[in-house]
Amino acid sequence: MHRLILGGVRSGKSRLAERLARDSGLAVTYIATARASDDEMTARIAAHRERRPADWRLVEEPLALVDSLRREAAACRCVLVECLTLWLSNLLWAGDEERLGRELEALPALLADLPGQVIFVGNETNLGVIPMNALARRYCDLAGSLHQQLAARCDAVYFTAAGLPLALKGPPLQGND
């Protein structure tokens, strides 16, 4: 089963993804896309690290997510990707338009071939005002398109707010107890 979990900052999406991975009963690989670029991001990464069970395998990959998924996905494993929108940011900042296009095309296409369970986490960026900055608008457009493509291919899609999951596709879930 492949799942997509979307929500805003501090909405509970990461905790929900971690709970689903833990409850899968499978070995878990956590693919972290974040880069510790400043003190705030370093603190966020540390908080995520402290919450994760010690037996989860960690793969830190800010750019080559498709390759990491090909390597890590297995019938006996749950892969948690945290998070799609940081990965997209990293690709945009890398400044390689060809790679950006290739990665964004390859990820949705890869889903049908991935064994085991995969849980994707992403920030829903398109619920507010349209950004004034061209790069921010492009980022929101790319994130929205990526989320739509993955949602069409995932078995379940959840939106989180105030720690509560809303099933957009697939079976309903209980809150983050």
Give the pLDDT of residue 51. 85
66 or 10: which carries more pLDDT confidence? 66
Which active-site residues does the annotation give? 48
Domain boundaries, the chain: 2-169
CATH 3.40.50.300 assigned to domain 2-169? The reply is yes
Out of 11-20, 36-45, 60-69, which region has the weakest mean confidence (pLDDT)? Answer: 36-45
**Alpha carbon distance 170, 173 (integer Å):** 9
Q: How confident is the model at residue 176 (pLDDT cuts 50, 70, 90)?
A: low
Mean pLDDT, range 107-128, rounded to an integer: 94
pLDDT digits (tens, 9 = 90+) for 136-171: 999 999 999 999 999 999 999 999 999 999 999 999
Please count the helices (runs of H) and the strands (runs of E) in the chain: 6, 7
The first and second tokens of residue 20, run together, are 């689903």
